[in-house]
DNA sequence: GGCGTCATCCGTAAATATACCGAATTGTAT
DNA sequence: ATACAATTCGGTATATTTACGGATGACGCC
């Protein structure tokens, strides 16, 4: 018995491509194609595939929400995200929703087939490039954490207000501090980040991920 | 006689999708699929299609270069860019290379077929969303031009140096001006952009496209 | 207890930036 | 020719930032 596959993709071209790729594989069978999230949810009520290839982007119903809903309602259905999105936030979001695979659209026939079989067998299948992204992100997170510990809590607070274009006096008022205290924090920050001037300060802080922008 | 189509796309999935989409159209015929630029150039020596669907991204050989080379060597071949790139620079680059069509990958079967037939008939076929992008860009260009005329040449010069984190004294030295003159320019810029402080100044200037960053 | 960091505050000084004033020259457009 | 904008320079004053010095109390860690 072949593995039943459904495709949910708002790009008709992709759906056709997947269909064509798997056309001559006896191990798998495309049983449904859905062009949007609503069609997918309706279709799932009638028939559940073994593996769902998912890439839906539509207003109010993002792919990650869809993945969550389906994982909740049909836990037996394996989900492979098949997208061009290599944005780390998107990736993490999807994985958090409990998807079983993540494949980018540059995928080759054999790889796609392998991904389908892997998740069907209960394994995870994550594209190598996606794994790279995740690793990069973890290093980035570590780096930011180190940079963050560079500045004390109060300094970070002052830094944020500086970045928000407040003057030292205004910051002192906001934080109920003496002007001199804020000036002192300011000096410490400049010294710790090793820059000259407010402009360079804010730039470096942004670069280090120390402030929300 | 059907229209001969070649597909050049480093995404196998897309090539398969196009093939599948056009499978049952008697008016067109896919005669070749190339996974990269080199294969495309080699293949073109042997056989020229009527229409080339092009989306190649590879190091050292971007799609726009490829389009230019092919347009030069085989002027009779109509080129349709079939890509997800809706970046305005990419679009303008491609159109400048003289491509005959520009279609995004969310394309439907009928639209793709229509695009092929249009360019084959000697017309242009540009995706609606791409046209929107071009229009947006024209408005943006106009806006930037207006903003640019807001500041005089010298002011823009000073502004750039301010953004490069030079102090007024340093700028004066660089431009062989009195410190007071540079201060005056600085005031004018602050006043014209209606902001307070260097940080906000540079931010607004960046937003208005007045400085290279 | 002692040590270090953090957070708070102060003094003094110099450098920088902002603000408003005026004015001369030059070139361009009306 | 006259008017206007751009560019240049000056004075004065204040606000802000940067830089150096030191001090105190709180708090956690060894």
Tell me the pLDDT tens digit for each residue of A46-79.
Answer: 999 999 999 987 666 677 888 999 999 999 999 9
Asked if B169 CB < 7 A from strand C, the reply is yes
- Tokens of residue A120, six digits: 């069907």
For residues A80-106, average pLDDT: 93
Asked if B187 CB < 7 A from strand C, the reply is yes
Q: What is the pLDDT of residue A148?
A: 76
Q: What is the pLDDT of residue B65?
A: 84
B53/B119 Cα distance (integer angstroms): 11
Q: How many CA atoms lie within 13 A of A209 on its CB side?
A: 11
With residue A50 as reference, give the H or E element that holds it: none
Instruction: Give me the helix-helix angle, B198-207 and B153-163, nearest 10°.
Output: 110
DSSP characters for A78-135? EEEEEES---HHHHHHHHHTT-SEEEETT--HHHHHHHHHHHHTT--EE-HHHHHHHH
B107/A10 Cα distance (integer angstroms): 10
B197/B210 Cα distance (integer angstroms): 17
For residues A106-113, average pLDDT: 92
Q: What is the pLDDT of residue A58?
A: 65
Give which of B114, B139, B109 is closest to B124, Cα–Cα: B114
**Mean pLDDT taken over chain A:** 91
Q: In chain D, which nucleotides are within 7 Å of a protein Cβ? A: 5-11, 15-22
Cβ atoms B173, B140 nearer than 8 A: no
The pTM score is 0.80
Mutate to test the interface with B, among A7, A13, A190 (most CBs of B within 10 A): A13
* Residue A160 pLDDT grade (very low, low, confident, very high; cuts 50, 70, 90): very high
Give which of B49, B69, B57 is closest to B4, Cα–Cα: B49
Cβ atoms B52, B73 nearer than 8 A: no
Q: What is the pLDDT of residue B142?
A: 86
CA B141 remoteness from chain centre: 14
Cβ atoms A7, A19 nearer than 8 A: yes
List the single residue in B84, B109, B199 with the smallest CB-CB distance to A84. B84
Q: How many CA atoms lie within 13 A of B138 on its CB side?
A: 6
Query: Which of chain B's residues have a Cβ under 8 Å away from the Cβ of A85?
Result: none
CA A148 remoteness from chain centre: 22
At A73 the three-state DSSP class reads helix
Chain position carrying tokens 């949007």: A36
**Residue contact B12–A107, C-beta within 8 A:** yes
Q: What is the pLDDT of residue A146?
A: 81
Task: Tell me which residues of chain A have a C-beta less than 8 Å from any C-beta of chain B.
Answer: 10-21, 84, 105-109, 112, 163, 165, 167, 196-200, 202
Q: Name the residue of chain A whose CA is nearest to B10's CA.
A: A106
Alpha-carbon dihedral angle through residues A144, A146, A151, A153, given to the nearest 10 degrees: 80
Task: Give the gap in angstroms from C-alpha B13 to the nearest C-alpha of chain A.
Answer: 5
Percentage helix, strand, coil for chain A under 3-state DSSP, each rounded to 5? 55, 15, 30
List the single residue in A10, A13, A197 with the smallest CB-CB distance to B14. A13
For residues A89-106, average pLDDT: 93
By mean pLDDT, which of A64-78, A102-116, A136-150, B58-72 is the weakest? B58-72
B178/B168 Cα distance (integer angstroms): 10
Q: What is the pLDDT of residue B141?
A: 87
Q: What is the pLDDT of residue A119?
A: 96
Q: What is the pLDDT of residue A143?
A: 83
The nt closest to A180 (CA vs C1′) is C9
Cβ atoms B29, B6 nearer than 8 A: no
Going by C-beta distance under 8 Å and a sequence separation of 6 or more, which residues neighbour residue A166? A174
For residues A104-110, average pLDDT: 91
Task: Give the gap in angstroms from C-alpha B166 to the nearest C-alpha of chain A.
Answer: 9
A102/A26 Cα distance (integer angstroms): 23
Query: Which of chain A's residues have a Cβ under 8 Å away from the Cβ of B12?
Result: 17, 21, 106-109
Query: Which of chain B's residues have a Cβ under 8 Å away from the Cβ of A14?
Result: 13-14, 17, 105
- Tokens of residue B212, six digits: 């290279």
Query: Which of chain A's residues have a Cβ under 8 Å away from the Cβ of B17?
Result: 12-18, 20
pLDDT along chain B (213 residues), means of 10: 91 91 91 92 94 82 84 95 91 94 92 95 96 94 82 92 95 94 94 94 93 82
């Amino acid at each position: 018995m072949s593995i039943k596959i459904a495709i949910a993709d708002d790009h008709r071209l992709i759906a056709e491509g997947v269909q064509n790729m798997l056309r001559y594989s006896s191990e798998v069978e495309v049983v449904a194609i859905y062009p949007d999230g609503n069609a997918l949810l309706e279709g799932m009520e009638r028939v559940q595939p073994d593996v769902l290839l998912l890439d839906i982007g539509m207003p109010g119903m993002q792919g990650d929400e869809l993945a969550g809903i389906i994982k909740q309602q049909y836990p037996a259905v394996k989900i492979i995200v098949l997208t061009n999105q290599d944005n780390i936030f998107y990736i993490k979001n999807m994985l958090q929703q409990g998807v079983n695979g993540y494949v980018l659209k540059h995928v080759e026939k054999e790889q796609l087939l392998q991904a389908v079989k892997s998740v069907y067998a209960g394994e995870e299948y994550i594209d190598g490039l996606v794994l790279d992204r995740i690793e990069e992100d973890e290093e980035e997170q570590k780096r930011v954490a180190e940079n963050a510990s560079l500045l004390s809590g109060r300094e970070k607070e002052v830094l944020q207000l500086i970045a928000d274009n407040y003057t030292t006096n205004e910051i002192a008022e906001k934080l109920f501090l003496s002007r001199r205290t804020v000036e002192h924090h300011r000096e410490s920050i400049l010294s710790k980040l090793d820059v000259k001037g407010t402009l360079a300060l804010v730039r470096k802080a942004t670069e280090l991920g120390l402030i929300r922008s």
